[in-house]
Amino acid sequence: MSLNIIFYTFGFVLLAGATSGVLIKANRPASNALLLNLALVAGTGVLLAMGSLEIAGRHGYTLIMAMISFTLIFLVSPLIFFPLRRLVAVVKFATPIDFLTFRYRKEIVAKVTCLCFIVGSAPLFFAQFSALLSLLEALVPQSAVIPALWVIGALTALFNRHTLESDKVRNLLWLMSSASLLLLSSMAMTAWLCIDNVFGNLDAMNQWIANSSHIEQLRQTNPEYSIVSIFMIASIALPLNFNLVIKNEISDRLFGATAYGYPLLIMLLCIPVLPLLWAGKVLQPAVPLQDYPFSLPLLLDSPVIAALSAASILLLAISLISSLSIMLAQMILNSFYLPEKKLQNQPNIDKWITHRMVVISLALITLTLLLYPSVTGMSVTDYYLLAFSGLAQLTPGILAAIYLPRINRRGFLIGLCGGMFIWFSTLMLPMFVGELRGLEGYFSISFGMQNWAIWSVEALLVNILLCSIFSAFTPMDEEQVSFARLCMADNVYVPARVSLKQKSVAEIQKSLEASLGDSARVDVSTALGALNLDMNERRPAALRQLRDQLSASLNLRLGVLAATRVMQQTLPLAPSTDKEPNDIYLIESMLAIHGNRLTGVASELNKLRVHHQEILDNLPIGLIAMAPSGEVLKWNVTMTRYTLIPAELATGGSINELPQPWRDLFIQFLQKHVPWEDNLRISIDGHERWFYIRRSGDLVDDDTGDRILLIEEQTQAVRMRQSYMENERLASVGRLAAGVAHEIGNPITAIACVAQNLHYQQTPAHIDTATSQILSQTQRIDRIVKSLINLSRGDDAELSIQQPVNLLQTINEAIQLLQLNGEAEHVKFECQVNPEILIESDAQKLIQIFLNILNNAIDASPDDACITITASQSSLQTEVTVSDQGTGVNETVRGRLFEPFVTSKEPGQGTGLGLWVVFNLTRELGGHVSVSSPAIDSDSGSTAVLQLPSKAHQKTINYEAT
């Protein structure tokens, strides 16, 4: 019989394993959700297979209330688990200890909570051993029970090794889902067997219940509210539950399925408990209640179903021992070993971690197996109640971490230690040493499991009380306040806009190698892949994201303590003098992703944010918001249209990293400390474009606030202005042309006369004289023509030829052109300009400027008046003044002299473009022009003052795109 059952048991284990394997391989949303819920069920170990019967037998319908409260935490997961998952998505934790250490800071938190988890979880190991012993006692000879238990322990350790060295998540999922599948089928089959064989059918069972008093017993049993409370509280801190909650591999949608899937499975497992209980009442087997699932099928002569139950109990016990020992091993490693370990000396860190975890998990299984003989005599339910009341001590700290920012480290630790001390001394210690003697006089309630309900609640109350008192009356340092705020349920995690010392991915990798050795390369490569970045990335925001990603992955691998140490040593954040502002770029990207989670006022504010964002993006002018460090925080759509640089690339990067010619354009403007500048010319692929840039705020070099640049393209306006100026220049040429033609006519007549006389000249002396006269007249024509050509030269207006120009010659040329035209006949020119003055400028533009200024002076001057031209030069600037003795400038137009179409002349006398052209040409040459009326040192007339740079002026930023 026993051999048959053992054979069937292994058969069922293989069958369940194969079924789970198929489900895992299917990898579909429905199968993954089912697997996750099955794994959660297996995380309770043998509680549902054996303990539930005992709770129902002892406390009736309290079982249902306890199980509802046990799964309630999943029903209300949006209140507790989802806030945790939001934080974990950014910071990443491997264990609940990492979360508590992250929240409460300091190594002591990790060490104390780790010890609490180990001590609190120990009874869970004992419960599994107790279940296995019950099973083995029915299947193998008495002498082989203990060796068989050790063999199961050894097999579990071997499974742990295989799991840790291959795929941890997949292997554990496979084992746990197999165990749950077996449990579901065994409970259903056993219940069906009992109803069929003991009562006949379901109606007969209902009839039996109606006729017996058992249903009344179930109802009238006083509900144990302490069981209900402790089950609910412990379910939050249960290591496996917590570990699954924070698993990064589980998506939110998949985790959402646990809210109803897990309670549904638990409910399905609780339904068969009552028929089993009643069948036991009829059959009266001489075994404890917890053994019914296995013993009743044996009594009813059904070895197959008994084997099914045995297989489920065996796999459930192994899966809990395995998962719990691996989890505790990681906690111990993260809390005690890795924070002190010099990782750079370890050639293969991952292998070292795996090896240590195998050894620690083996040590945990061995230790609990060695301790188990000294704690026998308790039922599976007792062990669970003991473990749950111990683990429940960690729940206040976890809940406070996400809901109570005032709870500090001291309060948490003192509360936890106080609660654990009461739990350990009143419930755990008596399990080892029996009733404590000598304390009867001090305590009216005896220690031990008989008063579990009282002591477990007492311990929890003391924990909460101490935690509240010490948190209320002890201060929190700034670090704790900041991390407490960070962990709040309604907080969106946004890293500060801190600056990194490393300026490239290569530098980050090199720094990390100093602490992690060769594995740093893999870490960086994985992080880059996760963020979709490449090795050439240099944007500060992207490098900060990379640092956060590396920190998160190290948190997972090494725990919060070791990861924090590595990050502080290798990728320290540059010290800041003031509180760093939030990373606007990350806030934007996070709100863009998670905005739909916001509710109430936050949601409305987010809508407002989106609206403002759209306004900024759709502004007809370009907008750049910059941090003091030069990091681009905002790059609107118009900027993208101007520059063809996408906002995604520009935002988060430095202004110093922008492609040319934009980089030089913005940097040169920022260096000038002027509020605005216009006509900034850049050349892209030979195409000239002009821009106006204005900066916001004060001109004071304030390094604390963000800066805003407004950019507007002026190309169209400049082209139009150039067109006007060109027309004006051509009009000048036209006006002068008649005079020039007349002036050329005179020497030509003279040449003609000389040439006719030459025909009659016979002597060489006369011929030489005539030739000289012809040459002289020809030179005169040449000079006149050159002057006109200089003015009318149709240069490419975009190309300014900057060369040394003799100022006196240029002025004389302008005067000559005006005299040719006959406009200057009634005035005299007094040119007091040093013939040695040279300026680096554009000769053609200078002639145009002087022509227009002198023309205005001539028009304003009465007959025989004198126009005086003076000049002075320094190394930087050359100043030319043109003074006339005319009527001066009309007051009505004095303030608008340089505007186009503004003139004080009679209608038809002037276009009003002369001084406007002068103003624009002077600005193009980097100079300045002003008119004062009356003239300087005079009561009448006016003086035009022209200030030009002595050296060449360059405003164009040339860039040929490749």
Residues in touch with other proteins (CB under 8 A): 61, 64, 68, 75-76, 78-79, 83, 206, 209, 215-216, 218-219, 251-253, 256-257, 259-260, 263-264, 267, 270-271, 274, 489-490, 492, 593-594, 596-600, 602
Give the number of other Cβ atoms within 10 Å of residue 857's Cβ. Answer: 27
- State in angstroms the smallest separation of the CB of 252 from other proteins: 5
CB-nearer residue toward other proteins: 489 or 708? 489
Q: Three-state SS for 347?
A: coil
Residue with tokens 């302490």: 226
Exposure string over 922-944, b if 16+ CB within 10 A, otherwise e: bbbbbbebebbbbbeeeeebbbb
SS3 236: helix
Indicate the residue among 530 and 684 with the shorter CB distance to other proteins.
530
Q: Which residues of 875-909 are buried (b: 16+ CB within 10 A; e: fewer)?
A: eebbebbbbbbbbbbeeeeeeebbebebbbeeeee
Q: Which is nearer to other proteins, 481 or 598 (CB)?
A: 598
CA distance 126 to 128: 5
**78/675 with CB nearer other proteins:** 78
Q: Which residues of 244-271 are buried (b: 16+ CB within 10 A; e: fewer)?
A: bbbbeebeeebbbbbbebbbebbeebbe
Q: Which is nearer to other proteins, 87 or 751 (CB)?
A: 87
Nearer to other proteins, 501 or 597 (CB): 597
Q: Is the distance from CB of 296 to CB of 276 less than 8 angstroms?
A: yes
Give the whole-angstrom CA distance, residue 326 versus residue 200.
Answer: 46
Distance CA 553, CA 559 (A): 9
Report whether 516 contacts 607 (CB < 8 A).
no
Q: With contact defined as beta carbons under 8 Å apart, do 654 and 661 qualify?
A: no
Instruction: Write down the least CB distance from residue 494 to other proteins, Å.
Output: 14
DSSP state of 572: P
Residue 827 gets which letter from DSSP?
Answer: E
Region of 350 please: left (phi>0), alpha (psi -120 to 50) or beta.
Answer: alpha
Cis ω for the linkage preceding 900 (within 30 of 0): no
Tell me whether residue 64 or residue 357 sits nearer to other proteins (CB atom). 64
d(CA 718, CA 729): 16
- Alpha helices of 474-539 — where are they, by DSSP H? 478-486, 505-516, 519-531
CB of 599 to other proteins, least distance (A): 7
- Let me know the angle formed at the C-alpha of 126 by 121 and 128, rounded to the nearest 5 degrees: 100
- DSSP alpha helices (H): ranges in 439-504? 452-473, 478-486
Looking at residue 783, the DSSP 8-state letter turns out to be H
In the bound complex, what is the minimum distance in angstroms from residue 216's beta carbon to other proteins? Answer: 8
Q: Which is nearer to other proteins, 134 or 180 (CB)?
A: 180
Task: Tell me the pairing of strands 956-959 and 943-949.
Answer: unpaired
Alpha-carbon gap, residue 495 to 589, rounded angstroms: 12
Are the C-beta atoms of 755 and 938 separated by less than 8 Å? no
CB of 264 to other proteins, least distance (A): 5
Among the listed residues 95, 131, 182, the one whose alpha carbon sits nearest the alpha carbon of residue 384: 131
Residue 573 or 602 with smaller CB distance to other proteins: 602
The helix/strand/coil state of 446 is coil
Min dist CB 593 to other proteins, Å, is 6
Least CB distance from residue 289 to other proteins, whole Å? 18
H/E segment holding residue 838: strand 838-841
For residue 275, the one-letter residue type is P
Minimal distance, residue 228 CB to other proteins, in Å: 12
Do 940 and 934 form a contact (C-beta atoms < 8 A)?
A: yes
Smallest distance from the beta carbon of 34 to other proteins, in angstroms?
A: 14
158 vs 271, beta carbon nearer other proteins: 271
State the minimum distance, in angstroms, from the CB of residue 68 to other proteins: 6
What type of residue sits at position 692? Y
Pick between residue 6 and residue 75 the one whose CB is nearest to other proteins: 75
Q: Where do the H-state alpha helices sit in 166-237?
A: 168-194, 202-211, 214-220, 225-237
Smallest separation, CB 280 to other proteins (Å): 15
Which of 271/465 has CB closer to other proteins? Answer: 271
Residue 529 C-beta: closest distance to other proteins, Å: 18
Strands 803-806 and 827-832, by their bridges, are: unpaired
Nearer to other proteins, 251 or 450 (CB): 251
Sign of torsion over alpha carbons 914, 915, 920, 923: positive
The residue among 598 and 616 lying less far from other proteins, judged by its C-beta, is: 598
Cβ at position 611, least distance to other proteins in Å: 21
Q: Which is nearer to other proteins, 401 or 560 (CB)?
A: 401
Q: Least distance (Å) from other proteins to the CB of residue 282? A: 15
Angle 23-25-31 (CA atoms, 0-180°, nearest 5)?
A: 35
To other proteins, the closest distance from the beta carbon of 197 in angstroms equals 19
Q: What is the DSSP string of 642-655?
A: HH---HHHHTTSBG
Measured from the CB atom, the residue of 78 and 377 that comes closer to other proteins is 78
Q: How far is the CB of 275 from other proteins (least distance, A)?
A: 9
Between 599 and 618, whose beta carbon lies closer to other proteins?
Answer: 599
Is there a contact between 460 and 393 (Cβ–Cβ < 8 Å)?
Answer: yes
Taking the least distance from each CB to other proteins, the nearer of 145 and 209 is: 209
Tell me how far, at minimum, the Cβ of 512 lies from other proteins, in Å.
30
Minimal distance in Å, beta carbon 274 to other proteins?
A: 6
